[in-house]
Amino acid sequence: MQATTKASATALSAEYLGKTPRKRLVRRLQLDHSQAVRHSVQGLFLALNAWIAVEFLLWVRFFESHGRTTFVERPAGVDGWLPIAGLMNLKYFLVTHRAPEIHPSAMVLAAVFLLTSLFIKKAFCSWLCPVGTISEYLWKLGRKLFHTSLTIPRWLDLPLRSLKYLLMGFFLFVVISMSAAALNSFMLTPFGIVADVKMLNFFRNLGLIGVAVLASLMLLSVIIQNFWCRFLCPYGALMGIVSTLSPIRIRRDAAACIECGKCTKACQSHLPVDQLIQIRSLECTSCMECVAVCPADHALQLAFAPRELSTASDTTTSPYTTRWRSRVLQPRAVVLALALLFFGLIGVARATGHWQTIISRDVYQQMVPHADEYEH
Ligand code: SF4
Ligand code: SF4
């Protein structure tokens, strides 16, 4: 991928063969496009969610106006905003091997996001999640305004970070403690059927307290980097735990690294990247900011475990190239993997009729205008 001069290749080979280590910079020649690609994907996914929100609002308005407005199909993608329903349906499916009837797309999307974490760490958070995108723009705005972010001291950071795991534990407990039959019965109640409408109404009818909470969260997100994601998001916490199984991680090649520390400074999750050989942390989101700023050839990359160099012939060209050949995930490969998982699973769900909730218009007409009256 990157050219290496004859002299530097000899120096690198010497390092690998156990001779005097020399920390000289072998500069990457290829420009890094990871952040431009990532921001484009984030923008597209944000636009997709905005489109879904408008469609869903029009769908709800049709029933609220008793058919006086234009009818649009219910966008099943809105179920991505029902993560608890997604986990409930996923458990129901895993236990019974039957697809849920209500909000099946919540299950499909939960599976997509968890599989993403299983393969590419928490890439969902930094590449797709609209909340993560807004959060990132907010702290970047804060940096522009105040030239810094508020640093939470370590003694406070750790307990605050555990909040999201506590929330996750609570939701998992609820899902795990319910039997498959109970989960199915719950989803078939009016409360379960219009859970999406109730969520919309929650945001449409925010009271004074709701507005104050939302405004506080946004303000905290401006002054503290990734406030919501770092301390409060239970879905991110779950994906972080799943991501520990990912074979693809940020990996540092100590021999190529010149120990400049730029990666650690750039890390959105405050990880000591320049001290580690691989990033196992539950907090790493595969944002690749660290890779983008690294000046050294093959020193830091999103990759599978490197090859072991066992013979001298392995090091005849560039040892780094040999070591990392076919192991590194370029940004376009991340996009391809995300697209395959996302569109692949949704395509299968659509083709097999397990994407959209099948409820007649008449039933929705009875329930949607009264969504707020249904309690569980
Ligand atoms: S280690 Fe790198 S990829 Fe992981 S969160 Fe930090 S900057 Fe992003
Ligand atoms: S950015 Fe990090 S990995 Fe790259 S050379 Fe500097 S310290 Fe090493």
Q: What would the mean pLDDT of 73-80 be, rounded to a whole number? A: 97
For the chain, the structural domain boundaries read 6-31+249-328, 35-243+336-352+360-373
pTM here? Answer: 0.89
DSSP letters along 79-105, please?
GGG-HHHHHHHHHHHHHH----SSSHH
pLDDT (tens digit per residue) in 80-116? 999 999 999 999 999 999 999 999 999 999 999 999 9
User: Is the per-residue pLDDT at 16 higher than 60?
Assistant: no
Closest of 71, 73, 55, 53 to residue 63, by C-alpha? 71
Handedness of CA 252, 256, 258, 262 (dihedral sign): negative
Provide the pLDDT for residue 142: 97
User: Is the per-residue pLDDT at 318 higher than 80?
Assistant: no
Q: Label residue 21 by pLDDT band (50, 70, 90).
A: very low
Q: Is the CB of 57 under 6 A from ligand 2?
A: no
pLDDT (tens digit per residue) in 259-314? 999 999 999 999 999 999 999 999 999 999 999 999 999 999 999 998 877 655 45
Indicate which atom in ligand 2 lies nearest the CA of residue 262: 1
- Residue 164 Cα to ligand 2 midpoint, Å, equals 30
**Cβ 253 vs Cβ 16: under 8 Å:** no
Nearest CA to ligand 1 atom 8: 287
Q: Which of 37, 230, 288 has most ligand 1 atoms within 8 Å of CB, for mutation? A: 288
Angle at 234 between CA 282 and CA 240, to 5 degrees: 15
Beta pairing partners, 328: 303
Q: What would the mean pLDDT of 13-41 be, rounded to a whole number? A: 74
Closest of 216, 217, 202, 199 to residue 135, by C-alpha? 217
Indicate which atom in ligand 2 lies nearest the CA of residue 25: 5
Provide the pLDDT for residue 111: 97
- Residue 305 Cα to ligand 2 midpoint, Å, equals 18
Q: Rounded distance, CA 223 to CA 156, Å? A: 16
Q: Label residue 322 by pLDDT band (50, 70, 90).
A: confident
Nearest CA to ligand 1 atom 7: 267
DSSP letters along 294-343, please?
--BTTSEEEESPPPP--SGGGGSS-HHHHHHTTTB--HHHHHHHHHHHHH
Q: Among 19-33, 146-160, 200-214, which stretch is predicted with the lowest mean pLDDT?
A: 19-33
In this structure, which ligand is nearest to the CA of 263?
2
In this structure, which ligand is nearest to the CA of 269?
1
Chain mean pLDDT for the chain: 91
Nearest CA to ligand 1 atom 6: 267
Q: Label residue 8 by pLDDT band (50, 70, 90).
A: very low
Q: Which of 250, 251, 286, 329 has most ligand 1 atoms within 8 Å of CB, for mutation? A: 250
Q: What would the mean pLDDT of 246-263 be, rounded to a whole number? A: 95
